[in-house]
Amino acid sequence: LKELGNLSEKLGVRFVVESSFSSPTFFVLQTPFMNTMIKEAVEDWITQDERSIDASRHGFVTDGDQSFFRAGTQLTTCAFSTTLGQWVPVLYSWISGLDAPHHRPHFRHLNQAILHAAGTSFQAKYLTAVGCG
């Protein structure tokens, strides 16, 4: 836990964006680059015609992995980057439980990033573009 607390200093950028070590226990991880990828994806949603073939790439995909950590689950959300031409991670979380309170911080942070990136062009349908795998 001490190393996790020093991670932002070691990287020279903010990385742990939210955490709680009481119930629910979780931490949410995101680099500035990952946030830039969210902004790029949302800008694509705003500028592309819904009938465009590229519109099928709108959205984020989230999946959980329970095999890496002895206890807890890693959540990873990815977005398609039209600049890179591939799916890239935009948010990581580690959660100690699989109930709704443990998942909420991850999706709250993601939804806030979508809202911020869309600004005055925000439409409620953008929050429905968050899927789970």
Task: Write the pLDDT tens digit of every residue in 52-65.
Answer: 555 555 678 998 88
What average pLDDT does this structure show over 39-45? 90
User: What pLDDT score was predicted for residue 56?
Assistant: 54
Q: What is the DSSP string of the chain?
A: -HHHHTHHHHHTS--EEEEESSSSPEEEE--HHHHHHHHHHHHHHHHS-TTSGGGGG-SEEEEEE-SSSSSSEEEEEEEEETTTTEEEEEEEEEES--SHHHHHHHHHHHHHHHHHHHGGG--GGGGGGEEE-
User: What pLDDT score was predicted for residue 21?
Assistant: 81
Alpha-carbon span 83 to 9, nearest angstrom: 29
Prediction pTM value: 0.82
Alpha-carbon span 24 to 97, nearest angstrom: 8
Task: Write the pLDDT tens digit of every residue in 80-90.
Answer: 888 888 999 99
What average pLDDT does this structure show over 91-108? 89
85 φ, ψ (degrees, to nearest 5): 70, 30
Alpha-carbon span 47 to 1, nearest angstrom: 42
State CA 98 to chain mean position distance.
17
Strands 130-132 and 60-65: parallel
User: What pLDDT score was predicted for residue 5?
Assistant: 67
